[in-house]
Amino acid sequence: MAPKTQIAGEEEPPAKVAKTSHEGVADELEKDALKDARPRIAETVGMVTEDSTLNVIPTSGGKVLMGLSDAGLQFLVAASRANVGVKSGRYMFEVRVVEVLLPTMPGGRMAPLQPISRQQCRVGFSKKGSSLFLGETEDSVCFDSDGCFINNKHKTNVAERFVRDNVFGVLLNLDPASPNANTISLFKDGRRVSKPQPLPEGLVGHALFPHVSFRNVTLQVHFGPGLIAPVPFECCTIQEAAKEDAVIASSSCSQDGKFEILFPIALPDEGTFDWLDDFLENHPGYTEVSDRKIVEWATGSGLGKPRTTSLKNSNDKPDVTFGIQALDEMTPRKLLYTIAPLIPRNYVVMEVKSNLLKSERQDLLHRFDLPHFRRVAAVVVGEPPESFKVKVRAAVLAEKQEKLDTEWKIQKERRRQMEMQQKLVREKMEKQKAMEEAQMKMFEATKAEGAEAKDEEVKTEEVKEEGVKEEPDVEMKEEPQEEEQPPVAELDEEEQKLWFLPRPVTDMVAPVFNSTFADFTLPTDEENFTEIRYEWATELASKEYMRSWMQAKKITSRVEDLVPSEWFNARVGDWSKLSNEWQVKQKDFKADPLRQQAAELRADKEKRYHQKQEREKSKEAGSAEGEAEAEAEATADAELEGFVPPDVFTVDVNDIGEGEPLFANFTFEDWALMNLRFEISLLMQFFRQEVTDPERPGIHESHVGYYYNRCFRKALNPKLFGVTTAAEVCDFIKDVVTVLDNGILSPVLTEEQTADLEKLLRLTEEARRERQQRLEGGDESCRLKFSAIMQQQMTQSHQPSWGGKGGPMPKSGGWPGAAQWPGGQPVAARPGFVPRPNMPPGLAARGWGPSYGWAGGYQGW
């Protein structure tokens, strides 16, 4: 079923015509045009290609206008403006709908689930250079097929509807001697169907050009000479206009008869679209071909503001959702790049990424490799001119002023409301005080005048009532105050240095930029450009600027395609196995009281040994001691005769004496820091192996979390370490990594030292001992404040599991063999355990029974 605004294919029935007709049309006030001997225009009036949307296809010598209706273009309006405008006099042009198109899906099927593309037809007048969306701005007026008069999106029902084969005539009267001066009227088949509608003030005194806007219909446009459907009075058409009454639009074609295809080549987020907007404002004869223009086109076609996603949205490739698949996938782009080279006009091909990549740039150039085009590369790279900087600073200042004005208005309103409340409270207190005073006077008068008490009582009651009585109708007037002015915004020092206007939406999304910017190039003479223009700087300066820009971006940008290699995964596996073994040994050690006691004695000796060294340093500094203290210290030193603390970097990590491992005193923080040392060291080493570009010296601190997550499949959360940034996390392991001034992570260990896994454990123990000594000395600043979640994660990650790698119990499948249990060795069966007949060997070897999760058969774990 066609929507209400759809142009029907047949004449309306009599009842419908009677219902929609406007009986209040006044008697015809237009008079026959006098004979005019003034010279007529010589130009042929027709629709201008440069002033038409790209989906307009003129046929029959420009007398018939068709609109493309494939690849989503059926949802976009087609619009065209004539080449001759009227600045005085009274003239008319006509339009007839010769075809009505129905929206279909590929293959000719109707689209039941897609939004229906409504037919539309609007005819009217507009200023030169105004928006092609007729009636959507204050610079144009029109009538639509529903009989509505439209200006600046405001609709007024003033006329009858018109359907296919009706001749729709629009009369513009700018004759000051006419009673209908500065009006526009609608005629249907030569009959007036609307009263003369006054032109908005913004259009009076300007040259107005015939303008049509349509969708899913085919129009015949007639400018004369003569009328298809004569009106009741003699009237000239646009083609019959006098030269004095007409304005001829100039062509944007160059002197050699060629049109220009401009390819802006600019760095992302460095004034790209700001420069383009200024260019189009100063060169209105150019048509922009870009995705952002398709979005603007769809919005102007009445599809509403699209939804966007911040993660995928960019100025170069907007990620929008209109709810129409063809438009959401930007299907019109391909068709427009096919049709644009066939329509001679000046174009701006705005593709930020494609214009910077040589291969994609060549593909775009090839599309416009036609003799009637001049292919020009506009290089917008380098320091912008002062005029551009002034506009940037003005825009920043205007934005700051707007924010200040908004805040000032809010605060002013809050103060006004607070003052009103305080005033009401004061008035209430004053009334209460007056009432109390009246009561007091009444009491005193009654006591003093015993004989006249009754009369005085009556009088005081009257006073009381007057004091208590409220006057709700009295208007409260505020005292006049001096008008407070809003604060004036000023640019700070950093804003004064801005070259480019910060935008909430970037020109390119980060993943696309990071994976392509290293291949950006400026055009060369070898490419198929007719001309290369350098807009902001010379060729040499532009190339040097781009080289410096690319070096800086290589430091701060991330590599998107970094994938863990087999070598990387093997190193992670070796470390996981070794780390688990160390933790098992620590648990075994702590479970043996004899070894624990021996370790405590050794730790006490080591502590006294360090105290002895401190005393010796103090003696060398000249500090005095008492005889008793000296004798006690001498006795203690005698017990340490021949004792030498083990060297962290030379002892056996599994046994530093009496079966004590080097890591015996590790807490969960130490295990976490040791693991962090390994992961960051391995990450830096892997990056150096995979990224061979010498201009990428290492991992930037802002991307540590990204690479960490990509390689280790887990997040690096600084908050779990009690800090907020990745650089602060690296401060915990300064013995393996340092952060340079440019934010790059620099390894402290060599590749050979990194390959020694025990080296990381020794560094962790050294850091633990140093931290413990500082804590014993009263320095609390070195105390670790890791999150409790970190402890929970560390505990869970080292629970015994299948394969000994901290993974979860499999939910289904076969049972692991004995060699796959934690630690790689089977555990002896429980005393008195009798395996069930159908129990897997691995469980039988470990002594698993019903209490261990085995109930006598596979339960589908």
Residue 43 reports pLDDT greater than 80: yes
Residue 545, pLDDT score: 93
Chain mean pLDDT for the chain: 80
Residue 570, pLDDT score: 92
Residue 820, pLDDT score: 39
Confidence band (pLDDT; 50, 70, 90) for 572?
very high
Q: pTM of the entire structure?
A: 0.72
Mean pLDDT of 554-578: 90
pLDDT, one tens digit per residue, over 799-813 is: 544 344 444 444 444
Contacts of 36 (CB under 8 A, 6+ apart): 236, 242
pLDDT, one tens digit per residue, over 615-671 is: 666 665 555 555 555 555 555 555 555 556 678 888 888 888 878 888 888 988 899
HEC-encoded secondary structure of 88-110 = CEEEEEEEEEEEECCCCCCCCCC
Confidence band (pLDDT; 50, 70, 90) for 532?
very high
Structure tokens at 502: 């910060």
Mean pLDDT of 42-57: 88
- Per mean pLDDT, which range of 17-31, 85-99, 400-414, 817-831 is the poorest? 817-831
Do strands 373-380 and 346-349 pair parallel, antiparallel, or not at all (unpaired)? unpaired
Q: Return the axis-axis angle of helices 593-620 and 566-590, rounded to nearest 10°.
A: 100
Residue 452, pLDDT score: 59
Residue the block writes with tokens 């004034």 = 271
Residues 445, 449: Cα–Cα separation, whole Å? 6
Contacts of 403 (CB under 8 A, 6+ apart): 489
- Per mean pLDDT, which range of 385-394, 580-589, 819-828 is the poorest? 819-828
Residue the block writes with tokens 């006049």 = 480
Residues 81, 248: Cα–Cα separation, whole Å? 12
Task: For residue 170, count CB atoms less than 10 angstroms from its CB and return exposed for 0-12, middle for 13-18, buried for 19 or more.
Answer: buried
Residues 565, 683: Cα–Cα separation, whole Å? 11
Residue 124, pLDDT score: 94
Residue 845 reports pLDDT greater than 70: no
Residues 437, 524: Cα–Cα separation, whole Å? 96
Q: How many CB atoms lie within 10 A of CB 171?
A: 22
Residue 686, pLDDT score: 92
Residue 438, pLDDT score: 85
Residue 625, pLDDT score: 53
Confidence band (pLDDT; 50, 70, 90) for 678?
very high
pLDDT, one tens digit per residue, over 135-171 is: 888 999 999 988 899 999 899 998 888 888 889 999 9
Residue 106 reports pLDDT greater than 60: no
